[in-house]
A and B are shown apart, each in its own frame.
Chain A
């Protein structure tokens, strides 16, 4: 029982660790924490990168380390796993809403995403005004995980978190 309690504590701590690029969502919401388990007295936190070259991965690892140490947990190891690869389906519903509020359109379902990134207009809703009258400016955006869009209704440019 004690062990289970510890693991729950660790999950609670991870829910407070922010993503360095999108500070409104936690690494938990982002779905990059794959597993937390005890190996006798050692706590193992398994994380997975979003994109292979995402520069935030190292920062996230450091933030998790910092958060656990601040909470008085010292016997832990952070492991990186690649399989199964991270996908946007791993984003929590809560995380999607927080993205939208922050001004980033959350990923659509895979079919809609494909149409949107093939240049089909009116697929992604503007996170500012909610209009579907939007167009893609570029498949590649400010970070590897985002594409660059513009709303034709309110004219605001915005980022779209693309499906992976």
Chain B
């Protein structure tokens, strides 16, 4: 596969992660456990969707077909979406949302640090911009893991269960397709397989501080990058894409 197509797919994947997780968090608008956390989650959603726009605008340019960010967000179906499965999982209870955010934010921050050294100037610029935002996200989700884990018996039990439940979706964060391998070699993308140890150390540090136990080893799920998604993605897209599909090219 040509490098350009590989890059296009990789950038779509980055955009889809932000877009889908951003929409998931956006569902909590008006439903947060307390007002401040409602605002926190929608702030994070806004950052992620903003970052997704930057990636999708870039993907549009790389497509060579004059595609816009909206074309890419609204006119692709489930099989064309390349986001990590973890980003499309349902919000569950507050502990589930925190566990998803904690494991993803910690990865996201490490990934962006690597991406900021990318030989691709646009990706490096997006990464440098995003790092500042994701630093806040990760600080927030770590604090909540600690607060819930080291809180009451009930919050501890719920946080532990949520962490155990999310675990099977975390290994996909470190998988690498053949195309991505070639982009890593040419210095365009960081090597995610090298980030796993750092990620695990950071997770362990917080889990320990939260008086929680690390989840047991278990079979892992993957497939998002190649278009094999959970049943949940279709529901997000149905809601997100309804308007532009029902009224194509409608404008304000």
- Which of A's residues lie within 8 Å of B, judged by CB? 49, 51-55, 82-87, 117-118, 137-142, 144, 148, 162, 164
Q: Decide if B89 is an interface residue (CB 8 Å cutoff).
A: no
CB proximity of B119 to chain A, nearest CB, Å = 14
**Chain A minimum-CB-distance residue to B128:** A85
Q: Decide if B130 is an interface residue (CB 8 Å cutoff).
A: yes
Partner pick for B36 among A82, A86, A144, A148, CB 8 A cutoff: A148
Asked if A52 contacts B40 (CB within 8 A), the reply is no
Chain B hits for A164, CB < 8 A: 132-133
Bound CA span A137–B46, Å: 20
CB proximity of B251 to chain A, nearest CB, Å = 14
Asked if B132 contacts A138 (CB within 8 A), the reply is no
Asked if A52 contacts B50 (CB within 8 A), the reply is yes
Apart from A51-B133, A53-B51, A144-B46: 8 A-B pairs, beta carbons within 8 A: A49-B50, A51-B47, A52-B133, A86-B129, A138-B37, A139-B139, A139-B140, A140-B44
Bound CA span A140–B50, Å: 16
Asked if B129 contacts A52 (CB within 8 A), the reply is yes
**Chain A minimum-CB-distance residue to B121:** A83
CB proximity of B55 to chain A, nearest CB, Å = 10
- Which of B's residues lie within 8 Å of A, judged by CB? 22, 36-37, 39-40, 43-51, 53-54, 121-122, 124-126, 128-130, 132-133, 136, 139-140
Chain B hits for A54, CB < 8 A: 46, 50
Partner pick for A53 among B40, B48, B122, B139, CB 8 A cutoff: B48
Chain A hits for B125, CB < 8 A: 82-83, 85
Bound CA span A54–B126, Å: 14
Bound CA span A115–B213, Å: 29
Bound CA span A16–B126, Å: 29
CB proximity of A51 to chain B, nearest CB, Å = 6
Of B22, B40, B122, B124, most A-chain CB atoms within 10 Å = B40
Bound CA span A49–B132, Å: 13
Chain B hits for A84, CB < 8 A: 128
Summed over the interface, the residue pairs from A and B with CB atoms below 8 Å come to a total of: 76
Asked if B51 contacts A137 (CB within 8 A), the reply is no
A-B contact pairs, 28 of them (CB 8 A): A49-B129, A51-B50, A52-B50, A52-B53, A52-B54, A52-B126, A52-B130, A52-B133, A53-B45, A53-B46, A53-B47, A53-B48, A53-B51, A53-B53, A82-B126, A82-B128, A82-B129, A83-B124, A83-B128, A85-B125, A86-B129, A139-B139, A139-B140, A140-B44, A142-B39, A144-B47, A148-B36, A162-B136
Asked if A52 contacts B47 (CB within 8 A), the reply is yes
Chain A hits for B45, CB < 8 A: 53
Asked if B49 contacts A53 (CB within 8 A), the reply is yes
Asked if B46 contacts A51 (CB within 8 A), the reply is yes
Chain B hits for A87, CB < 8 A: 132
Of A85, A87, A162, most B-chain CB atoms within 10 Å = A85
Bound CA span A17–B233, Å: 42
Chain B hits for A82, CB < 8 A: 54, 122, 125-126, 128-129
Asked if B36 contacts A138 (CB within 8 A), the reply is yes
Chain B hits for A51, CB < 8 A: 46-47, 50, 133
Chain B hits for A144, CB < 8 A: 43, 46-47, 133
**Chain B minimum-CB-distance residue to A52:** B50
CB proximity of A90 to chain B, nearest CB, Å = 13
Chain A hits for B124, CB < 8 A: 83
Bound CA span A164–B131, Å: 10
Of A53, A117, A144, A148, most B-chain CB atoms within 10 Å = A53
